Amino acid sequence: MLMRTSQNYLNKNFWNKKNILITGVNGFIGSNLVNHLLSKGAIIHGISDKTEKNIVLRYNNTLNKINFHKTSLTNKNKINDIIKSNDIEVCYHLAAQVDVNIARKNPIDTFDSNIRGTYTLLECLRNSKKIKSIIVASSDKAYGDYPLSKLPYKEEYDLRPRYPYDVSKACGDFISHCYSSEIYKLPIITTRFSNIYGPGQLNFSALIPDCILALMNLKTFKLRSNGKNKRDYLFVDDVCELYLCLGYNLYKNNKLSGEIFNAGTGTGYTVDTIIKNICSIENNKSLYKKIKSQYNKKKSIGEIENQFMSYSKLNKYFGWSPKYQLNNGLYMTIMWYKEIFNKYGKNKMLRNLIK
């Protein structure tokens, strides 16, 4: 089904004064999406279970410009109340427990947030008469392991995850399809994006933030593979623009409901390439050599070997393609970490962020 739908998603007239709900509003992607939507005049209602994650919203000076609700997504009464009393028309469901190490140690909390959280939210939205557009963030991890010859993943591939975080995302993904089916008819698009990086990411179990902190001498780098695993990386501003595109187009055309969209750059970069690029931006050959010397000793356990995504369906439907090149994105990301650590003080940041 080819449908070149409208690209007017950047138009202020559409977003101005619209009530938007963002779950996981103070997370990495949520806090970036806030900037994009506020600049269009949207009214933002945000949900998160943790106020200590408000660092980036505070740093961006946006916490006081949104309606922040501290609650877990699993609290059905509160979520119902927020949706009903604020006439929510567009919802971005981003909240999730995303740390793969935490998920391995304690899968139950991850299943609770990512699975129960998703069906509780969608069940509450089912009772809303105003909702026109729901974008659910699934992940490339939901696909599970496919041989290199089958990559990039295609939207029609079966989901066959095995590890806790991956399984939790696949379950949320299936639940979204159930709610968009002819039984419930909720307007839902599901996104399966590759790894995302950029300013605002404070999850240091992810490769790029972890490596940048080591580069700043703030932390020892934790190698989780032999350097050969391939991953794809989207810059967060590309993702936010894409979210505006999807939210707008589903609002205007409910025939898009039930669609799944993959996004990545189409290129798989080895872990070694990412580390090498980060170190070379700061001209730190010794860190690169030190990490490289550990590759042979490291086996990856509980990690998918290769993952990368194409954006061809998105391009066909909306003419969308990513704008940021890896090295530009990495440079902007390094600069951001330097600024925020300088502003809040290194010790305080480390105490609060690295557990």
Which residues have a catalytic role annotated?
165
Residue among 18 and 169 whose Cβ is closer to ligand NAD: 169
Task: Based on the shown chain and the rule CB under 6 A, indicate whether residue 203 belongs to the binding site for ligand NAD.
Answer: yes
Residue among 193 and 341 whose Cβ is closer to ligand NAD: 193
Task: Based on the shown chain and the rule CB under 6 A, indicate whether residue 95 belongs to the binding site for ligand NAD.
Answer: yes
Among 12, 50, 58, 130, binds ligand NAD (CB under 6 A): 50
Task: Based on the shown chain and the rule CB under 6 A, indicate whether residue 97 belongs to the binding site for ligand NAD.
Answer: yes
Residue among 71 and 253 whose Cβ is closer to ligand NAD: 71
Residue among 196 and 274 whose Cβ is closer to ligand NAD: 196
Task: Based on the shown chain and the rule CB under 6 A, indicate whether residue 253 belongs to the binding site for ligand NAD.
Answer: no
State the DSSP H helix or E strand holding residue 149, giving kind and residue range, or none if neither.
none
* Three-class DSSP category at 241: helix
Instruction: State how far the alpha carbon of 205 is from the alpha carbons of 53, 103, 201, 223, in Å.
Output: 16, 11, 10, 10
Phi-psi region of 223 (alpha: psi -120 to 50; beta: other; left: phi over 0): beta
| Spatial distance between the Cα atoms of 232 and 28, rounded to a whole number of angstroms | 17
CA-based nearest residue to 188, from 207, 173, 202, 199: 173
The least distance separating ligand NAD from the CB of residue 63, rounded to whole angstroms, comes to 13
The residues in 179-198 that bind ligand NAD, with binding defined as CB under 6 A, are 193, 195-196
Phi-psi region of 306 (alpha: psi -120 to 50; beta: other; left: phi over 0): beta
Among 49, 232, 259, 272, binds ligand NAD (CB under 6 A): 49
Among 90, 98, 171, 223, binds ligand NAD (CB under 6 A): 98
Q: With beta carbons less than 8 A apart as the criterion, state whether 173 and 114 touch.
A: no
Q: Which pair of tokens denotes residue 56? A: 């980036």
| Spatial distance between the Cα atoms of 62 and 38, rounded to a whole number of angstroms | 9
Residue among 137 and 189 whose Cβ is closer to ligand NAD: 137
Among 46, 117, 198, 199, binds ligand NAD (CB under 6 A): 117
The residues in 27-46 that bind ligand NAD, with binding defined as CB under 6 A, are 27-30
Task: Based on the shown chain and the rule CB under 6 A, indicate whether residue 329 belongs to the binding site for ligand NAD.
Answer: no
Task: Based on the shown chain and the rule CB under 6 A, indicate whether residue 237 belongs to the binding site for ligand NAD.
Answer: no
Q: With beta carbons less than 8 A apart as the criterion, state whether 10 and 244 touch.
A: yes
Q: How many residues bind ligand NAD (CB under 6 A)?
A: 28
Shortest Cβ contact with ligand NAD: which residue? 27
The residues in 136-165 that bind ligand NAD, with binding defined as CB under 6 A, are 137, 139
Residue among 203 and 226 whose Cβ is closer to ligand NAD: 203
| Spatial distance between the Cα atoms of 26 and 203, rounded to a whole number of angstroms | 12
The least distance separating ligand NAD from the CB of residue 257, rounded to whole angstroms, comes to 19
Task: Based on the shown chain and the rule CB under 6 A, indicate whether residue 175 belongs to the binding site for ligand NAD.
Answer: no
Residue among 14 and 304 whose Cβ is closer to ligand NAD: 304
Among 43, 46, 48, 279, binds ligand NAD (CB under 6 A): 48
Q: Give strand pairing partners of 84.
A: none
Q: Which pair of tokens denotes residue 123? A: 């069940």
Among 21, 34, 42, 73, binds ligand NAD (CB under 6 A): 73
Task: Based on the shown chain and the rule CB under 6 A, indicate whether residue 74 belongs to the binding site for ligand NAD.
Answer: yes
| Radius of gyration, alpha carbons of the chain | 20
Bridge-based pairing of strands 269-270 and 230-231 is antiparallel
Alpha helices in the chain (DSSP H): 12-15, 28-38, 55-59, 76-85, 100-105, 107-111, 117-126, 164-180, 207-215, 236-252, 271-281, 285-292, 312-318, 326-344, 346-353
Range in contact with ligand NAD (rule: CB under 6 A) among 21-29, 59-67, 305-313, 339-347: 21-29
| Residues at the site binding ligand NAD, with contacts judged by CB under 6 A | 24, 26-30, 47-50, 53, 72-74, 94-98, 113, 117, 137, 139, 169, 193, 195-196, 203
